[in-house]
Structure 1
Amino acid sequence: MRHEKILVVEDDREIGKLITTQLTSLNLHVDHVVSAELALKKIAKHPYGLILLDINLPQMDGLSLCRKIKEHYPTTSVILLTALSSDMDRVIGLEMGADDYICKPFFARELQARVKTQLRHRAQLLASQNNDNSPVDSEQTLNIGSLNIEFSSHQVYLGKQALNLTATEFDLLVYFARHPNHVFSRQQLLDKVWGYQHSGYEHTVNSHINRLRAKLEEHQQAPIIETVWGVGYKLNPSQLN
């Protein structure tokens, strides 16, 4: 984590300065810009492992910037900085590919925990792409029917079709696959997959599951990850035969 660079895109200079201070205390290199235009110039010159992105930016808004970042730099993690009242913006941002969000105002320890989690996901993805041993587990593959998860290459296959998953989607699918037919609440998934013990971030789980389902069901109509109403979600292995 020490070698990763983080970009904070926040038009409020005082908030940007505060976030920078909170993250540099983790021995991270942090840059701060106040607009989407400046952010795009920075990103073009320097690779960033993580971008913290305010939704309400002048000129180009944060949601549009998030989409551009994910189109051109899919392995870069994005955390949205949102207001408590912007519920729909959070949902849209996650559907556009943001990895997480955090509501203002927030505590320094919560911000640091979320940053650490996203950098850990990214480290796992990059390690697998470099053919290193994945930190996820020492096992090489996990197979359930037609679903094949390869840890060394960080690849997922449904039958013969390779799925293009983000690091978080990969970790989420692995957790379900290791516990087939087990129903998990959103809070349990936040705790086990994201490493968060904070309530109030269920949209993070909902949006990632929706994206994961879309990728799985693009090649198979039967739902693999099922909703158990009033409880949570489970992976149904009978749909993978």
Structure 2
Amino acid sequence: MAGAGRGLVLVVEDEAAIAEVIELYLRRDGFDVRIESDGESALTAWQQLQPVAVILDIGLPGRDGADVCRTMRAAGDWTPVLFVTARDDEVDRLLGLEIGADDYITKPFSPRELAARVRTVLRRTTTPFPTGRPPDDVAPGGEVLSVGDVRVDLGRRRAWAGEVEVSLTSTEFELLAQLFRRPGRVFERDELLSSVWGYQSAAGTRTVDVHIAQLRAKLGETSPIRTVRGVGYAADRDG
């Protein structure tokens, strides 16, 4: 069954039956699919095929999925990565997010839900707003938002801390942009989870905390993100 132009998704899964079901649902959604069963083959396929997204099992033989993701991010590649794993421990989930994954789903899972999450993360990558249209108070087009010394170009999906461009995952970018659209407004964690992820992430609101921590680390001293204890986060012009 041929894809319908949505691009190629690299599926890295050593359980053949699971990989085949994932492939079936992705192809139904119009994606082309390449399946690999180990980390080394996954890295070769990633370099050669330049997929639009990677579905990556953590527990791979030999080089595990976490190392594959680290290698991609170290190379400056921010292709969306969705981790799939049998582990259901919060520490494992948060570690996956910390090393650069965009989302995390545990086995057993619904292949329909996994396909929906791929679509969602790709919408964040290809449109400046998670709903595909801007909020009423934000003009469309190549708008650049600034809070303090940090700038976000919504149209080109690029960000700068001072004069230095910052490499962000699609999820990190959308989270930062969401805060920047309403400077000074305090967003609750549940609100950010709904508006940025578009569904209830496996890690719950803790995934918001992890991504905020990653953003602060990347923005360094220029970060304008403020924690409102017990509530959520805001981007303040005063830093």
TM bucket (normalised to shorter chain) is: 0.7 to 0.9
1:31 maps to which residue?
34
Q: Where does residue 94 of structure 1 map in the other structure?
A: 97
| More moved, 182-191 vs 8-17 | 182-191
Pairwise CA RMSD: 2.4
User: Are residues 1:8 and 2:7 paired?
Assistant: no
Q: For residues 62 and 14 of structure 1, what CA distance do their matches in structure 2 show?
A: 18
Q: Which residue of 2 aligns with 1:131?
A: none
Residues 1:108 and 2:111 aligned together: yes
The C-alpha deviation readout for 1:183-239, integer Å capped at 9, x for no partner, is 2222211210121146753333222111101122x243xx62222222222222222
Equivalent-residue separation in structure 1 for 2:164 and 2:63 (angstroms) = 37
CA contact (8 A) 1:55 1:61 kept: yes
In structure 1, the partner of 2:237 is 237
Cα distance, 1:69–1:164 mapped onto 2, change above 3 Å: closer
TM-score (norm 1): 0.84
- Report the CA distance shift for 1:109/1:189 in structure 2 as closer, same or farther (over 3 A): farther
Instruction: Provide structure 2 residue ranges, at least 5 long, that are not aligned to the other structure.
Output: 135-139
Unaligned stretches of 5+ residues in structure 1: 126-133
Q: Which amino acid aligns with 2:209?
A: N
Residue 65 (structure 2) aligns with: 62
CA 1:42–1:159: 2 relative to 1, 3 Å: closer
Deviation at residue 113 of structure 1 after TM alignment: 2.0
How many corresponding residue pairs?
Answer: 228
Measure how far apart 1:84 and its partner are. Answer: 4.8
1:175-190 aligned at under 5 Å gives the runs 175-190=178-193
In 2, distance between residues paired with 1:198 and 1:19? 19
* 1:5-39 Cα shifts (integer Å, max 9, x gaps): 00111111111111111211101101212111221
Identical counterparts, % of pairs: 38
- The code of the aligned residue for 2:229 comes to W
Amino acid at match of 2:169: T
Residue 236 of structure 1 aligns with an amino acid whose one-letter code is: D
- 2:80 corresponds, among 77, 90, 93, to 77
Which letter maps to 1:48?
P
Q: Match for residue 22 of structure 1?
A: 25
Paired residue for 1:226? 226
